[in-house]
Structure 1
Amino acid sequence: MPTLAELAVEASTCTRCPLSAGRTQVVWGEGDPHARLMVVGEGPGREEDLQGRPFVGRSGQLLDRLLAEEAGLRREQVYIANVVKCRPPGNRDPLPAEIAACRPYLETQVELIGPEVVLTLGNFSTRLLLDTTEGITALRGRAYPWGPAGAVLVPTFHPAAALRGGGEVQARMRADFVRAKQILAGAATGP
């Protein structure tokens, strides 16, 4: 199996879908390659495409704040990735074919990192990883056993939705980040 670095090099020249034609650069992911918590979003926005890093705009600032305040973690202590690695034009939703093209990259990232908890941000990552058509509003607020290694998936709203939705959405996100922290604390102390 390739390493994260080898896979990032492969992805940097990927042309599996039309998103490759409009990107500035692939936004692979970043963070601790042995992280206990992995955060999975939808796809890069304008700032992410320019910088080549996930969640660096306003959504990223909120993500960093919630990680610190509710989970007690710094960005460097988690691994952050997206479902699609290239920016959809105009920040539109990724199309099913684009998600399918990038899915092997995400699956390999998850396998190599081996997180204990996967925190999904929004509909696209949650639906993909839980293999469901249910929406985030119905799915969040719970934890789901997930993956062959016995990880737990905690779905929450996307930070962009919280920025638009105000205090109530942010309060629910905070509760989900606390849930992820509690699961990690339970995993660290054992049964």
Structure 2
Amino acid sequence: MSDFCASLWPEESTPDNLMNCSECGLDKHGSRMVWGEGNPDAPIMVLLDNPGAREDRENKPFVCGTRQALQKATNQVGLTVDDLYVTYVLKRKPTKAYNKEKTRQICMNHLKQQLKSKQPKLIVCLGNIAVQAFFQNPEIDVKSLRGKFHDVHGYQTTVAYHPLAVRRRPNLWHLFLEDWKLVAENYFNQIRLS
């Protein structure tokens, strides 16, 4: 991915009333809450499992591998930061063991709040964790759902592999790009029709 220069996308501030949320227990992990990044009013919402590294060891802003792969793919299909808003099932990065099922259930309330306020035209779930949490079905996976659109909670939704899986297994890159082409075609068709 060295031929592509990823950039820091603007981060949306966490709502004041949730800044110190401790309901799920991830606040004890020492990571800060990340509400989302990109364009908060974008028509396409991208859902990941949790925030990745955002600062390096010297606390300087850092573009992690997940964001590099995501930005490279979306850039190649003609989507820009204005078209996309990235958010997470968990709003904090876990740094140690935790009760995954209970924590995801609690944190899904934040996502429901975002969906209600943002009303995206399309949701793209990346990776099995995000897919299973959003579809509310622990038995499904990306492999069986990718390549088509689904109606989930009243939202047009599609899925793709997690960007880190794509980085670790380069043979998935063409499938990842194929799924983003599907997203872009759908999006640009909607623009033409409106």
2:163 maps to amino acid: P
- 3-state SS in 1 of match to 2:176: helix
Q: Distance in 1 between matches of 2:69 and 2:99?
A: 22
| Amino-acid identity (%) | 23
Alignment of 1:24-173 (within 5 A): 24-47=31-54, 56-70=63-77, 72-90=78-96, 95-132=100-137, 133-148=139-154, 151-166=155-170, 168-173=171-176
Q: Distance in 1 between matches of 2:88 and 2:118?
A: 14
| 1:20–1:93 Cα change, 3 Å | closer
1:124 maps to amino acid: I
153, 171, 182: which is aligned to 2:185?
A: 182
Deviation at 1:8, TM superposition (A): 2.3
Q: Distance in 2 between matches of 1:180 and 1:94?
A: 33
Deviation at 1:160, TM superposition (A): 0.4
Q: Distance in 2 between matches of 1:59 and 1:48?
A: 14
Q: Distance in 2 between matches of 1:143 and 1:49?
A: 37
Q: Distance in 2 between matches of 1:140 and 1:15?
A: 34
Deviation at 1:31, TM superposition (A): 2.1
| 1:38–1:45 Cα change, 3 Å | same
Q: Distance in 1 between matches of 2:29 and 2:144?
A: 34
Alignment of 1:2-21 (within 5 A): 8-21=15-28
Q: Distance in 2 between matches of 1:140 and 1:94?
A: 28
Deviation at 1:23, TM superposition (A): 2.6
Kept after mapping to 2: 8 A contact 1:66/1:174: yes
Deviations 1:23-49 (A, max 9, x none): 331111122222111111001233369
Deviation at 1:13, TM superposition (A): 0.4
Deviations 1:133-154 (A, max 9, x none): 2111111122112333xx3111
2:53 maps to amino acid: R
Kept after mapping to 2: 8 A contact 1:23/1:49: no
Kept after mapping to 1: 8 A contact 2:53/2:63: no
Q: TM-score, normalised by structure 1?
A: 0.84
| 1:64–1:93 Cα change, 3 Å | farther
Q: Extract unaligned runs of 5+ from structure 1.
A: none
2:162 maps to amino acid: H
Q: TM-score, normalised by structure 2?
A: 0.82
Deviation at 1:180, TM superposition (A): 0.6
